[in-house]
Each structure stands twice: as structure tokens, then as C-alpha cells.
Amino acid sequence: MPHPLAGKPAPRESLVDIPALISAYFNRRPDPKKPTQRVAFGTSGHRGSAFRKSFNEAHILAITQAVCDYRAVHGIDGPLYLGKDTHALSTPAQETAIRVLAANGVETRIAEGGEYTPTPLISFAILGYNAQKGVSPADGIVISPSHNPPEDGGFKYNPPNGGPADTDVTGWIEKRANELLELDLEGVKSLPYEEALATHHIEEIDFITPYVLELGKIVDIHAIKASGLRLAADPLGGTALGVYKKINELLGLNLEIIHPYVDPTFSFMTLDHDGKIRMDCSSPWAMAPLVELKDRYDLAFGNDVDADRHGIVTPVGGLMNPNHYLSVAIGYLFEHRNWPESLKVGKTLVSSSMIDRVAESLGTEVYEVPVGFKWFVQGLHESWLGFGGEESAGASFLRYDLSPWSTDKDGIIMTLLAAEIKAVTGRDPAEIYAEYEARFGRSYYGRIDAPATPEQKAKLKALSPEDIKVRELAGEPIEGIFTRAPGNDAPIGGLKMVSANGWVAMRPSGTEDIYKIYAESFLSEEHLKALQEEGRQIVSEVIGSTPTS
């Protein structure tokens, strides 16, 4: 059940104490002997809070030095593009990173005037630079915990392919960073901040204008502008704010910006399902204020804090389920772009099977991978994936000329694509999805969490299809059991079982003592619940039940 205050304005007592948080960043020292205080790169980099001693100055000194060491070992000596989001810890963390990068002689490019930089703009800049002939490879760092609560910080590394770093890269950086923590930062080079800025290694650039001026090469800006659509964008206090302002200035769309300011407490937010402030643009509770305005606009949309995710609000459908909008976006792109038949659709294995049904109707092959956008980077970079998307509202796609735009998630092009769909087809994206349900069947999709000890999570991650002895799933024969993704044969870190009219997937959380149960039915809500419950029972039998108290 959602928290009693879910969808309600954040009470003052729920706001983070920003001065105390910044003080904790500089003054609390992590203990590398404690697992929760070590550097740990998950699917979206290292995340933590200064209060919990999991995101402090020592972490950023160590991680940034580890990135410098990685660059040196692997011959990456072009510029490093460094961006930050609007979380309170991001600016001090960027200052720490600048001290280390300058001391290591890394040519570092930061946003002019202290501007905030969305994740996709870092990827866009890396790809643009590396597309030049004869240049040394560039890479980047994004300081952001994405949609996490205001007290959190995050640090992500993007190698020269522009996308999220693969596990071999993050594993190398994580190992080296923890070695530095254990050595009490011996081996970390750093300069005083003012001295670092004064070196020739730090250069301020405009990230936003080049990105906005190129938008016509990936989205039909002319059609959107000619349609006169009344649009609204809510950056949720994040980095998309500067981009939408520049879009209005240079492209002249009929776009109203909701909450056009930055507030590190995010006090304007409504509480998420669990009663926390979380800038999740796919959450109906966090997006409640924008949903209330849906009838004032032809289309409204939001982004999370680093703008790599999207939330689409329509007069017909309200806040669209991310899986629904992904299906519509894929259907539209592969019908309206002059793309070759060889291009594939990338989806994560816990995304809706509606994507498979839409792709099949278009004669398009689906490339199914484990959870994590990093699995789409190569396909987008090499232009054999036309689209890559995941169930958590992250996606990117190719330009009109089939070159990559961003090999990281880009929530801004996804919101503008929704406006293009409305402008070109004259139809609400939610209406298009309703037509898909009429053609392909209605999808009932859900995710629940179940408790699990670290030992049980390890067992779940190590399962093989032979460990599953049952032959039926919610009354239907099991047609497939997967512990490796069909698209790239990579381990999924869990288990997926498929029947004719549904599927269930279970995978352990990387940060909490839970495992996640994803399921989808094309029969009924009751069938969905049966899939979830049978999936839980099957896993419990294999890894052992978890005490409820």
C-alpha cells in the first residue's frame, strides 16, 4: 500500500538540512572496512549519502583518481566532459573532482557559469568530439544520483563510446578506488580548488546550445512548431530546466515550463509511494501536480533530475505507464523514419512483451538484454539498434541519418518525440496505445519486492534453468526458462520464466536486501497476481524462504 502522504506536498519536516548535508560531505570519513561505506558501482554508478558515509569527499577523491588511473592505463587522453545535476551534493563533488582532474593533467570541460548538465548532453558531447578525425578519445563523468532523494549523491563514468560504463570498466574503477580508500587516500593527486581552476586543464564550455541546435536532426521540430501544440515541461527541479529554456529561446516552441527554478531541498515535490521525496518522472505520486494540469495542455512531460528519464502526461491517459509509451515510440519510429529493415529494437528482459508484439507486426527484430542501459550502448554506437529502451522510462534512438545521438538514456528527445507523435499523427499517444491493446491484447504488468538475505540473493543470481523443476506457470505450460538474455546471451543475474500468455522474472537488488519480481499477463489482473505469487514460491523453494520477522 502507498504511504498515506503519497502524492501530497512534501511537509517541511521531510526536507533535508542542506548545510548539515554539505558539512557531512566534507567532515565525515568513511570506513573502508564497512561494506556500506566502500565505493560500489551499481547499474548507474556509485550512489550514497554523506549522512550514511557512503558519498563523502573521500569517495570522490578516490573515484576520480581511479578514473584518471584508468584513463592512463587505457590510453584515453582526450578531453573529459564533466557534468553535475542539481542535487545538493553534486556541486561540492564536482569541485572535488576538478581538484583531482587538474592535478592529474586531465583536460576537463565543465559547463560555463556553473550551469547544470543533463546526462544525455555529456554523451552527446563525447560522441560529437570523438566523431572528428584524428582526435584522441574523449570520455566523461556525470555527478548525479538520478531521481534519488535530495540527500543522495551519485557519480557515473562514461567511456569514449559515450554510454554508461560496462561492468569490466566500473569493476576496475571500483577496485582501484577502494584500494585508495584503504590507503587513506595515499596516491590521490589533488590541488586546491582555486589553483585547479586557474590551470589550463579546466575549460568552461556551453553544453546546451549545440545540443538544442541539433535537435532537428533527431526530432521533427518543424512539425511540432507548425502544429501549435500547447506543451508543458516539468524538469522536477533538475538539469532539463536550462535545456527547455534554450529550446524556447532558439526553437520557439509553445512550451510552458513548470517549476522553472532549482531548489536543492526539492520542496515543491509531492511525496512518492513510500513517503519520500523522489524526483521520479514515471511515478504517479511524484508527478501528481503535472497530472492535475493534464487538461490545460495538448501534452505535458517531465524528466528526472539528470534528464535521462521521461514521463509523458496526456489528456487522455494521464501519466502514461513507461512500458506503454515505449511501445508507442517504437511503433511510431519504425513506421515513420526511413530506416532499413535491418535495424533492431532493444529492450530489457523485464520490459513489456507488448514491445515484442508491436515489433513483430512491423517485421522488426527484438534484441532482448539484461537490466541496464549499458547493454544498448554498442548497438546504438554502431547504429544497428534503431532504439534502445528500458522499463524504468529510459531510452534513446538514432538520428534521421542513422548516426548515434546519445548512447546514454535521453529523456529530452523522448519527451519531444511524444510531441512529434501528436503533431504528425494528430493523435494522443495514449489513444495509440489503446489501439495496440485492441490489436495485440491488454497487458497487465507489475513489480513487487520480496525480502531476501545476501546469501539468498547470491543463490538467486547463480540459478540455472536446471534448478527449476516445475513445468507449469499460473496454469500454463512453461515455454522457456532463462538465466541468460536471449539477445546477447549475457547473464541476467536472476531468472525469467515464460508461458504463452505471461512471464515472470526475479532478480536480486544490488543495494537492498530484497529481490524484485516482475511479471506480465495478457489475460487478467488475477493471472498477473498468480504469476507473481508462483514466481515467489518457485524462487523460495530454490533459495530458501525468508523469515518475515
H or E element at residue 446: strand 444-451
**Residues forming beta bridges with residue 148, ordered by sequence position:** none
- What strands lie across the sheet with 514-521, from one edge to the other? 444-451, 514-521, 502-508, 491-499, 480-484
Q: What is the 3-state secondary structure (H, E, C) of 251-281?
A: HCCCEEECCCCCCCCCCCCECCCCCCCCCCC
CB of 292 within 8 A of CB of 303? no
What residues act catalytically?
146
Task: Provide the b/e sequence for 500-538 (b: ≥16 CB within 10 Å).
Answer: ebbbbbbbbeeeeeebbbbbbbbbeeebbbbbbebbbeb
The Cα 428–Cα 154 span in angstroms is 36
Please, which contacts does 179-183 make with residues 24 or more away whose CB atoms are closer than 8 Å? 180/61, 180/62, 180/65, 180/66, 181/30, 181/32, 181/38, 181/39, 181/58, 181/59, 181/62, 182/32
**Residues forming beta bridges with residue 283, ordered by sequence position:** none
CB-based burial label for 27 (10 Å; 0-12, 13-18, 19+): exposed
In eight-state DSSP terms, residue 485 is -
CB of 372 within 8 A of CB of 462? no
Scanning 76-166, the segments in alpha helix (DSSP H) are 90-103, 119-130
∠ CA 7-9-10, rounded to 5° = 110
Backbone angles phi, psi at 32, to 5 degrees: -65, -10
- Strands 310-314 and 299-303, by their bridges, are antiparallel
